[in-house]
Amino acid sequence: MQDKLTDTTIKNAKPKDKPYKLADGGGMYLLVNTKGQKWWRLDYRLNGKRKTISFGVYPDVPLKTARTRRTVAREQIAAGENPSEIRKKEKAAIDGADSFRTVADEWLEKHSSKWTPKTFDSVTTRLTNYVYPWLGDEPVSKITAVDLLAALRRIEEKGALETAHKVRQYCGQVFRYAIATGRATRDVSQDLKGALTPVNTRHYASITEPRKIGELLRAIDGYKGQPVTRYALRLAPLIFLRPGELRRAAWEDIDLDDAEWRIPAEKMKMDRPHIVPLSAQALEVLKEIEPLTGNGPYLFPSIRTKQRPMSENTLNAALRGMGYSRDEMTAHGFRSMASTRLNELGWNRDAIERQLAHVEGNAVRAAYNYAEHLDERREMMQAWADYLDGLRRGADVNAIRKG
């Protein structure tokens, strides 16, 4: 193992538009975020799973100390031990096993192998910056809704309304983890519904007029860009998923024989499991792309490596290349297209909302009812795919009206 960094290199590392890493060797690197903060991280694998541990912040933790911690951690890994678990136990002995910080760190560790590094760093940074300074050392069972709201108000005062709502969601998941592990009895974040300043709803441009939908589908059929992008564009109108959920689509979640796509909660925006019944047309797209990308984890991998999904801007860039402006159509607009037309055509609104993976107000009910209306949703998804084929050919736009 060859050390690569020097104190001079680290001191001269300046923030960029996106977080970036400076590798030191042995899996350790310095993560420099967009504000110039520098975090020591070690990526490692244990029992076939990728994990990440933090060694602290530079310059509080200097290069020499970080390397010492790396050496100790790698010795633990070589012995089959998990350095994150060892540190967690040591920290619990000092800070108390029931503190919000300890419980949150455990929850983060559980997700480290499921999230992308970007997501893991984003959630960790938000909890570290916005919650730990005020609630981190408090027993998780003693934190009240008023305590949590005070922390969230500080975020609101900065004008970061969407961040405040996201942090409330993260805290809610930490409280629910504390309940599951016997260290709390209730999720106080639920008491704050309606307490935060609402975020202005973002409307995504979408084509909903039948004739223009047909034109768009024909334009997609004629797309001349990357084959993987073309397949993603063909599948997008058929499955109602958010662009981020589509681009991270994993072969392991798809059952071609049962014509079903079961997405686990951790891969969905709203942290609820989701089922996508696959129409014959969707299956056709998947079977066509399988020989191209089926030997990797993602349906739609990056053009640089099959180990990462396509860029989040790929589909919107493709639509721009096809002549559709951001005010006309977006990748997210395929959901609005389906919702608008299916409602106008008389389909059950509850079935439509469930297929869009919209979370209802009762979170407990939503967690258990992700398979609700499934038979009707299967019928609807096939009818919708047939309807789109009709629009592509210029057929009767009311061909799938219910009743």
Which residues are catalytically annotated? 242, 269, 332, 335, 358, 368
Which residues are CB-contacts of 10 (< 8 A; sequence separation ≥ 6)? 22, 30, 38, 58, 63
∠319-322-327 over CA atoms, to 5°? 50
Closest CA to 252 of 282, 291, 295: 295
Q: What is the rounded distance in angstroms from the CA atom of residue 381 to the CA atom of residue 235?
A: 12
Residue 300: DSSP 8-state: S
Contact 399, 387 (CB under 8 A): yes
Q: What is the rounded distance in angstroms from the CA atom of residue 162 to the CA atom of residue 159?
A: 9
Q: Which residue has the tokens 């009910």?
A: 365
Exposed, middle or buried by CB within 10 Å (0-12, 13-18, 19+), for 196? middle
User: 3-state DSSP call for residue 114?
Assistant: coil
Which residues are CB-contacts of 286 (< 8 A; sequence separation ≥ 6)? 235, 254, 256, 278, 299
Q: What is the rounded distance in angstroms from the CA atom of residue 23 to the CA atom of residue 5?
A: 7
